[in-house]
Structure 1
Amino acid sequence: MKSLLAASLLALMAQSALAADTTVRNPLTDEGSWEYLREEMIGDAVAQDGAAVFEVEAPYRAHDAATVPVTIHQTGDVPINNFKVIVDENPAPMAGHFTVGEAMLPLDFELRVRVDMYSNLRVVAETPDGVFMDGRFVKASGGCSAPATKDAALALASMGQMKLRQFGDAPMASGQKREAQIMIRHPNYSGMQRDQITQLFMEAHFISDLEVYQGDDLLFTMEGGISISENPVFRFTYTDNGAPTLRIRAEDTEGNVFEQELAKDART
């Protein structure tokens, strides 16, 4: 009976510790590779504290190192023209370089990245008022070498399929804010994963360029790297300009081009 009680107490303590862990605020640390990455990532620019301009949210301890959610939420009035998502300790730290159109402001954007080891995850934004930086320290490991969720043949067969999800009631009028999510089927191989049959490393093969428009107006572009997760997902808000569709063009490192127009008010 005593052993059962002790085991129950230990389980409760572990649950409490996990619950506390998920509520920890995880600011950037002073440790890691940023000192060596800084010049490559931002050149001679002095990165100001981004807290008054935008806020980055990422879990302190990731449930899945291969799909770590990152949210950039604009908190100030300074427009964010473009931003970089950087995972300091990843083999290729630059996850993505994004440019955004006027309809995306104020910025509210979410994506999923791979984290290969405990690392600072930072967002560097360029604005008319200079360069600003915010981020979080994330405890995760093995994200860049985690096995793909599908076998290679199946992943390649569905590559390039796209899906648009709109949130909120439809239809909405031009000029109103909308929230959308785009998912693109692509294995986004990092070059660090092994084929589960041959056990040989699979060559890096990922979406390198992405463009999203509503009608002819740009929403955002991305120059991506291996740190963007498999089957990339992007969730964002934008101001509706009245166009009936979102137009998406993606190109990967093998030269494959995927283009599709997705109806805004289609419900899936």
Structure 2
Amino acid sequence: MRAFFAPRAVASFGFAVAALTAAFMASPPARAAAGDDPAEREARWQDIAKTVFGDRAPKDGAGVIELGTSLRAEDASLVPMTVTLPGKEPIKGMYLIIDDNPSPVAAHFIFGPAADPREIKLRVRVNTYTNVHAIAETADGGLYEAVRFIKAAGGCSAPMGMSNEEAMKDIGDIRLKFPPDAAPGKATQATLMVRHPNFNGMQMDQISRMYTPARYIQSISVTTGDKKVFDLSTDISLASNPVISFGLVPQGEVKIAVDDSNKAHWEKSFPGPQLSN
């Protein structure tokens, strides 16, 4: 499994996370222990943080970043996460890391000048009892963390409940919704929906009883006018048919671009909010 989250160098960082992922998947007894023992969980997190951030240790994020999710997942393959960034300090990016998932780094957002990153909502797969870390990166490179423990099981291997053919239908369809009061030049929330099964290689086809080859979204880019809203790097932990709510300051047409692990590329443009009479 590959990972594509690079605070500095894409290639070297990707190899490091890939190695971490391979080692993690090869040691289920250690994974089970990490899910039960706080010291083991903390050691696991320190390994991940070292791989992802190097010598930059995340600090307590009180007042900078908050993570909202349920203690126990109703559906481990569709776990809602809400990241809130209430502080006044400029935020450069945000990481969502699911410590005990086979590929821990679920999302890395890099925000542009048209972003309003105060709240982000998305859905992820959670494989086992685990800590989830949300990390804010400030403009000066500082890292601030919020952590929540969640009880879930089997989210990465859970099938979609339909045939692969049905799951692939209309792959790459992109939709975007604004609230009724959205206006140009005014911060607002938008909801992005992408039709994609996000197969991770761990799901069994319920008809053929064979494992479905991995095919998952790797990146999503959002711009408005000529300004960047965000670039998202993601991996197999993102839920099927992703739904992402995010803030922006619309400045004309909004363009969405999506790339997946099969080198497929989709783009779609939407008219931005208009001034009401």
TM-score tier, shorter chain, comes to: 0.7 to 0.9
2:267 to 256, 259, 262: 259
CA contact (8 A) 2:117 2:246 kept: no
Task: Kindly provide the CA deviation profile for residues 109-163 of structure 1, in whole angstroms up to 9, marking residues without a partner as x.
Answer: 1111100001111112211351111121111111100111432112222100011
Task: Check if 1:147 corresponds to 2:155.
Answer: no
1:207 to 217, 225, 237: 217
Mark the CA change 1:110 to 1:98 in structure 2 (over 3 Å): closer, same or farther.
same
1:236 to 238, 246, 255: 246
* Residue equivalent to 1:193: 203
For these two proteins, the number of residue pairs brought into alignment is 234
CA distance in 2, matches of 1:186, 1:240: 25
CA contact (8 A) 2:65 2:135 kept: no
Q: Secondary structure at the match of 2:51?
A: helix
* Residue equivalent to 2:10: none
1:98: Cα distance to partner? 1.1
* Residue equivalent to 1:23: none
Task: Check if 1:116 corresponds to 2:127.
Answer: yes
1:53: Cα distance to partner? 0.7
CA contact (8 A) 1:164 1:264 kept: no
* Residue equivalent to 2:85: 74
Higher-Rg structure is 1
* Structure 1 stretches lacking a partner, 5+ long: 1-28
Task: Kindly provide the CA deviation profile for residues 57-91 of structure 1, in whole angstroms up to 9, marking residues without a partner as x.
Answer: 11111111111111111121111101111000000
Mark the CA change 1:41 to 1:146 in structure 2 (over 3 Å): closer, same or farther.
same
Alignment of 1:1-268 (within 5 A): 31-32=40-41, 33-129=44-140, 130-169=142-181, 172=183, 174-241=184-251, 243=252, 245-265=253-273
Q: Secondary structure at the match of 2:135?
A: strand
CA contact (8 A) 2:67 2:83 kept: yes
CA distance in 2, matches of 1:156, 1:93: 25
CA contact (8 A) 2:123 2:238 kept: yes
CA contact (8 A) 2:129 2:153 kept: yes
1:93: Cα distance to partner? 0.5
TM-score if structure 2 supplies the norm length?
0.80
CA distance in 2, matches of 1:169, 1:75: 22
* Residue equivalent to 2:11: none
CA contact (8 A) 1:101 1:219 kept: yes
CA contact (8 A) 1:79 1:105 kept: no
CA distance in 1, matches of 2:56, 2:235: 23
Task: Kindly provide the CA deviation profile for residues 160-193 of structure 1, in whole angstroms up to 9, marking residues without a partner as x.
Answer: 00111111325x2x32111110000000011100
Greater CA drift, 153-162 or 223-232: 153-162
Greater CA drift, 103-112 or 249-258: 103-112
* Structure 2 stretches lacking a partner, 5+ long: 1-37
Q: Secondary structure at the match of 1:51?
A: coil
Q: Secondary structure at the match of 1:154?
A: helix
Q: Which amino acid aligns with 2:221?
A: E
Q: Secondary structure at the match of 1:102?
A: coil
Q: Secondary structure at the match of 1:213?
A: strand
1:207: Cα distance to partner? 0.5
Q: Which amino acid aligns with 1:139?
A: K
Mark the CA change 1:55 to 1:44 in structure 2 (over 3 Å): closer, same or farther.
same
1:31: Cα distance to partner? 4.6
